[in-house]
Chains A and B, each alone.
Chain A
Amino acid sequence: MTHAQEHTSHTKLIWKVFAILSVITIVEVALGIIKPDSLYLTKFLGTSPLNIIFLILTLVKAYFITWFFMHMADEKKGLRRAVVWTAVFLIIYLATLLLIEGNYIKDVLGPLTKWNY
């Protein structure tokens, strides 16, 4: 970002991002309340399509907040990668291992749980 640009106002962009974030949140909440059977009770990639939709929308929201509210878009490539790539790699790594482990514990211990009295 050059010095001259710093002094121009970005209010238009800010309100646009706010509108996008609001629309996404409204869609999420509406889907969460309605929970259409075709999305909620069917299976896709090991979970319901609804959960996949929620995950994608969440990541889109995270992108808009980081890029335009935290001005990551204006930072130098080096800083951006140092922060974003590190976070994305470590979080995916951690989440994958923990969820696989959780699933394994369920497979081993689940059948031992007593549900009839």
Chain B
Amino acid sequence: MAELTITKNQNKTFMEATIATDSNENNWSGGTQKPLGASYGKMMMWFFILSDALTFSGFLGAYGLMRFKFHDSWPIADEVFTHFPFLHGLHAPMYYVALMTFILIFSSVTMVLAVDAGHQMNKKKVTFYMLLTILGGAIFLGSQAWEWKNFINGSYGAVKLSDGKIIQFVDATGAQITLESFVKSQQSERTQHTANKGIWYVKEAKLPPFTLNEIVESFKANPKIAIRTEQVDPELKSKTIIPHNEAMGFLNEAESVVMGANLRENEYGKTLFANFFFFITGFHGFHVLTGVIINSIIFFNVIVGTYERRGHYEMVEKVGLYWHFVDLVWVFVFTFFYLI
């Protein structure tokens, strides 16, 4: 028995020498000491933000690499994102994304006002500003969904060549025109396959409104229209227009009709553009969604008085950091996808 006690004691001394066991005194996890003047939670939030920033940099860097690689044929953002609510058919580049940017900046302002009110222990104000922040985030998410919808549905329609290049149609002035504006539909026997018309487990992608043949025939019949390739003229920074009489060389290679954009094809040009757009704005949107959820949790905690009882509103500050970071990422996404 005596021997055993000695071993135990020795063991204890050994443990104490290597591992800090006093968790209730002045070490970090007790929350009394603050290295670098920041609490454990706040500092970890900062380092999470740092690592998340590097993740986003990786994505945007990959986007940059591909954009440099296809510098001479990258889609021009101004020609892609041109929709604005209630202004159908009007060419309104940038306006919508500018609105989205303002929504996010404003929700950042209400967030920082909530943090400020928290410093003054003003529960009513914190509640109000948190609510505004959550609303702003929700509106941004809705706007993002609308932007995606427009991009997925497309605006003009195009033709894809056998090697994957996209051919768009332009009028005499060089402005892009929709397929509907010049293609005459011939009676086609091809109908969309649905579950009740044949083999139920075979799915078919949505049929384009026109067949390739109809487009080529209508193009031949209309000498005023021309085509445009993806290739960007470095001097004028606009896509190369091929006159009507040379266009058939391209259209003979045509393989399919492309409407809108998805992960496999993109009527605006490079499929990679759509891939990166969906992935990066999607990943950012997922962050916004997470932010809205976390903000909502904190919002209810504020209402039931959790932080009033705790004596400080630092939790609001921590979610605030995350929320501002989401805004910060959007600033860069906005620049690299829409401006540059």
Q: Chain A interface (Cβ within 8 Å of chain B)? A: 6-7, 9-11, 14-15, 18, 21-22, 25-26, 28-29, 32-33, 35, 40-41, 51, 54-55, 58, 61-62, 65-66, 68-71, 75-76, 78-79, 82-83, 86-87, 90-91, 94-95, 98-99, 101-103, 105-106, 109-110, 113-117
Contacts and interface: CB of A to CB of B under 8 A. Distances in A.
B286 interface: no
Given A79-B37, A82-B36, A91-B53, 18 more contacts: A6-B119, A15-B109, A22-B105, A29-B98, A51-B340, A65-B108, A65-B331, A66-B324, A69-B108, A69-B320, A69-B327, A75-B38, A87-B53, A87-B54, A99-B64, A102-B67, A103-B68, A115-B231
B150 interface: no
Contacts of B68: 99, 102-103, 105-106
A91 B57 contact: yes
B217 interface: no
Contacts, number: 153
B116 A66 contact: no
Contact of A33 (B58, B69, B93): B93
A18 B104 CA distance: 11
Contact of B324 (A15, A69, A94): A69
Contacts of A91: 53-54, 57
B250 A95 contact: no
Contacts of A40: 237
Given A22-B102, A33-B93, A94 B108 contact: no
